[in-house]
């Protein structure tokens, strides 16, 4: 039995999205750090924290927190202005961590009871996450990586530490049955999920114990959902490049400039009916301004974000807001109203978001109207999300300030 991938070997190491399977070895006390100090001698916590980018004020996820070894040390390292999200699927483990948090007054720790295929982390809230000796236990690893990717900000780090297999020629199932997994398999998983590998240490930890040697590798990956420019062979015309797995968001500035933008670039991926959809956009913030009706005027075309035109890439034929679209890439803009918005799709994809003039609108494919809703909470930064409504349908959710717009998406089966 494991608590979020808790297994018999309780080694942990790795910085970035944290999946820790650590069982408590005794009662929690206010005097002793969780996990004791003996583990610190071999766990290489400073190296883990350096790879994770831990510093005061950052937000880090400890997924599969178990006994809380890393939760404790992360809480102290990020300080009162930072935040640690301790995630586990084992309810007793969460209850024990609750007792520890209350006894030590760790107000910067948030406890989350996760699912085997969903860490239930807040959207775009994390600077990093950590997975230690747990990835090999994740049967739903693709869904877990998707949940982690959605929680990380651009440039956020995911670090995974795990046990190498005795025989690298064994199948994945054979490796995971032994609580092991090859570093190469995990690196491929990460790259498919939209991460970039930035460090790879096949022998991160080697220690002798009970007449044999424990070995652990470490991967450090970075969430990077955009490129400075599209690959040279990438055709962004609507009828071409229908495979969303090969699609990259293209932004006009060099990467260091993108990271400093007040309205940072972002993207959303979704699977609908077995096909893939991707939205590329920039995320302006309200910053104490009145958004709807002032910053974003009613009844006028809006680029729906900032900087470059917002793009949507479809790997399948679809009807979005009532508009029939073939597989490919389109820009889109909106015309907001008090009670209703128009969503307009456009063939011109190599353009800045403004102006939306007659020449741009001559390339419109079509538009559809959707209702605007009033939220009971404030959304500081423009956000796109997805909510599935059926096996072949979903809603793209646009939220900003106190407005939500639901854009229906339906995959079309022409077979």
pLDDT of res. 33: 58
pLDDT of res. 350: 81
Same domain, residue pair 306 and 392: yes
Same domain, residue pair 79 and 64: yes
For tokens 């739903």, what's the residue? 140
Q: Is residue 8 part of a domain?
A: no
Structurally, how many domains does the chain consist of?
Answer: 2
Q: Is residue 13 part of a domain?
A: no
Phi, psi dihedrals of residue 179, rounded to the nearest 5°? 60, 45
Residue 240 domain boundaries: 226-411
Same domain, residue pair 76 and 181: yes
Q: Is residue 311 part of a domain?
A: yes
Residue at a domain's end among 223, 247, 279: 223
Same domain, residue pair 82 and 152: yes
Q: Phi/psi class of residue 118: alpha, beta or left (left: φ > 0; alpha: ψ in -120 to 50)?
A: beta
**pTM: predicted TM-score of the whole model, two decimal places:** 0.59
Residue in 62, 205, 189 with CA at minimum distance from that of residue 136 = 189
Same domain, residue pair 107 and 232: no
Residue at a domain's end among 177, 199, 223: 223
Same domain, residue pair 193 and 157: yes
From first to last of the 415 residues of the chain, give the pLDDT tens digit: 223 332 222 222 233 333 333 333 333 333 345 766 678 878 899 999 999 999 999 999 998 888 899 999 999 999 999 999 999 988 999 999 999 999 999 999 999 999 999 999 988 789 999 998 889 988 999 999 999 988 888 779 999 999 999 887 899 999 999 999 999 999 999 988 878 899 999 999 988 777 777 889 999 999 865 544 444 444 444 444 444 444 677 777 776 787 788 998 888 888 888 888 889 999 999 999 999 999 999 999 999 999 999 999 999 999 999 999 999 999 999 999 999 999 999 999 888 899 999 999 999 999 999 999 999 999 999 999 888 899 899 999 999 999 999 999 999 987 6
* C-alpha distances in Å from residue 303, one per residue of 16, 27, 184, 280, 353: 34, 56, 41, 12, 5
pLDDT of res. 225: 53
Q: Is residue 5 part of a domain?
A: no
Residue at a domain's end among 173, 198, 223: 223
């Amino acid at each position: 039995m494991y608590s979020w991938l808790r297994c018999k070997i309780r080694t942990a190491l790795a910085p970035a999205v944290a999946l820790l399977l650590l069982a408590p070895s005794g009662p929690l006390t206010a005097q002793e750090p969780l996990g004791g100090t003996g583990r610190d001698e071999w766990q290489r916590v400073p190296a883990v924290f350096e790879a994770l980018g831990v510093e005061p004020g950052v937000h880090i996820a400890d997924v599969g927190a178990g006994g809380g070894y890393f939760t404790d040390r992360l809480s102290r390292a990020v300080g009162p202005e930072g935040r640690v999200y301790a995630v586990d699927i084992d309810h007793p483990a969460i209850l024990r961590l609750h007792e520890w948090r209350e006894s030590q007054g760790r107000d910067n720790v948030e406890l989350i009871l996760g699912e085997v295929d969903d860490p239930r982390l807040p959207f775009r809230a994390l600077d990093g996450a950590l997975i230690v000796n747990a990835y090999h236990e994740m049967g739903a690893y693709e869904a877990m990586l998707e949940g982690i990717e959605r929680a990380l900000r651009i440039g956020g780090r995911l670090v995974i530490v795990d046990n190498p297999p005795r025989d690298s020629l064994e199948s994945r199932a054979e490796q995971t049955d032994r609580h092991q997994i090859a570093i190469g398999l995990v690196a491929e998983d990460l790259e498919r999920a939209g991460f970039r590998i930035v460090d790879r240490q096949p022998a991160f930890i080697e220690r002798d114990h009970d007449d044999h040697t424990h070995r652990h590798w470490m991967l450090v990956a970075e969430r990077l959902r955009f490129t400075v420019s599209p690959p040279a062979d990438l055709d962004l015309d609507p009828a071409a490049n229908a495979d969303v797995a090969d699609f990259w968001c293209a932004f006009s500035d060099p990467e260091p400039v993108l990271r400093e933008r007040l309205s940072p670039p972002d993207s959303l991926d979704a699977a609908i009916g077995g096909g893939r959809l991707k939205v590329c956009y920039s995320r302006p913030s309200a910053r104490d301004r009145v958004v709807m009706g002032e910053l974003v005027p009613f009844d006028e075309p809006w680029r729906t974000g900032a900087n470059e035109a917002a793009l949507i890439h479809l790997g399948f034929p679809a009807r979005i807001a009532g508009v029939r679209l073939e597989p490919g890439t389109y820009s889109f803009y909106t015309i907001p109203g008090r009670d209703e918005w128009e969503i307009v799709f456009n063939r011109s994809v190599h353009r800045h978001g403004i102006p939306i003039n007659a020449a741009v609108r001559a390339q419109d494919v079509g538009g559809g109207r959707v209702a605007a809703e009033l939220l009971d909470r404030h959304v500081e930064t423009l956000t796109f999300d997805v909510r599935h409504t059926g096996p072949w349908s979903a809603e793209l959710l646009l939220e900003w300030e106190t407005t939500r717009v639901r854009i229906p998406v339906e995959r079309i089966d022409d077979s």
